[in-house]
Amino acid sequence: MTGPTPPSPYPLGLRLGGRRVVVVGGGAVATRRVPALLDAGADVLLVSPELTPALRAHVDAGRLHWEPRRFAPGDLDGAWLVQVAVDDRAAAAAVSAAAAERRIFCVRADDRTAASAWTPAVTRHGPVTVAVLGGGDPRRAMGVRDAVRDLLGARTAPGFAPSPEAGGAAGGRVALVGAGPGDPELITVKGWRLLTEAEVVVADRLVPGLLLDELRPDVELVDASKIPYGPSRAQEEINRILVDRARAGKVVVRLKGGDPYVFGRGGEELLACAEAGVPVTVVPGVTSAIAVPEVAGVPVTHRGVAHEFTVVSGHLAPDAPASLVRWDALAGLRGTLVILMGLKNLAAISATLIAHGKPAETPAAVIQEGTTAAQRTLRSTLGTVAADVEAAALRPPAIVVVGDVVHTLTPTP
């Protein structure tokens, strides 16, 4: 014979900003729970004789107060909530009893049935927070949570309307989003979310095509690579489009390959929007300068090999009057040199580095279309890399890496 069905929990969204929350315990459970409490703005008191390194980092940064001792009932004075994160049932029960006396809700990691509050399985999608309670079954709650997260993460999520993070005229705003080095799955979660909310997308030619293929049908797509005029006039036109669409109340995403501020002119676009009074969100992207060598087996730093790396643009020849790169100085560096947009001028760049003292036998690698299905990798030396690239018919976009790290993960015979 079964007993009566326990009552269902009453769900609430607690606004903990500035309110005291006590966490008892300094182990793995507390390490998982504390960041969400801090994100909610709670005034966290942590009571535990010992802490994990991650919790110690929060203490050292002044994000919470730590009492390095065992729990005392007076710790709950003034608290709104207590999280018990210890596996000692007797100690947890003592905290529960003290909380009950003070009418403070108590979450217990050791025994959900003895707790007066449960921590739900949570997923966040921008301004949307979904919390799932599984009737006391954490695995059920996590399964439902994951299904909801997948739905919210889908670019075609039904009924998901844009929710501006910052309002301008009629709610218009601009987001400068880095799309990553080529693999569409390397866009950040935040960048992906903003792309699902976009009404206008202004895209560069190096943006992963699959990201554009999955935009909603009603999204206005502006191909920035087809804007006429020279580079300066084209940038002026891009700036005008961003400002005009945002002033019309549109949610605009400026989608760029790599990172917006790594040779992406994102700073110019931000300044143009700021001068026009248009709010801007900047979303960093995975830059090809690090990611492309990495997926090709070339770490830009490696213990005992290279403790520094330098990223430069090679789109101008070393002797070009407008070039700002000090190739003579780069030749004397011991670390890794990463050259973006340098394939056209690779012969001149290599010759200049060698002329200023860089050994011709220095390892070099060229990676074409890194992180994509079309990726090709060529390993060579500084003295022969330009000729090898021509013989292999490599083409842009490609990253050039110069330094001993080229053979770190693929030793030569």
**Whose structure tokens read 């994951």?**
146
φ/ψ of residue 327, rounded to 5: -65, -30
Taking a C-beta distance cutoff of 8 angstroms, is the pair 117, 81 a contact?
A: yes
Residues 6+ apart with CB under 8 A from 82: 21, 22, 23, 24, 76, 95, 99, 104, 105, 106, 107
Backbone angle region of 95, left / alpha / beta, with phi > 0 → left and psi within -120 to 50 → alpha: alpha
Cis peptide before 35, with omega less than 30 degrees from 0? no
Question: Half-sphere exposure (CA, 13 Å, Cβ side) for 101?
Answer: 11
Question: Half-sphere exposure (CA, 13 Å, Cβ side) for 357?
Answer: 8
**Whose structure tokens read 């729970």?**
33
Taking a C-beta distance cutoff of 8 angstroms, is the pair 44, 81 a contact?
A: no
What are the E-state strand segments in 25-127?
A: 43-47, 65-67, 79-84, 105-108, 121-125
Q: Which of 380, 319, 392, 391 is nearest to 355 (CA)?
A: 319
358 is known as an active-site residue: no
- Of 43, 75, 204, 259, the active-site residue reads 204
226 is known as an active-site residue: yes
Task: Write out the catalytic residue numbers.
Answer: 204, 226
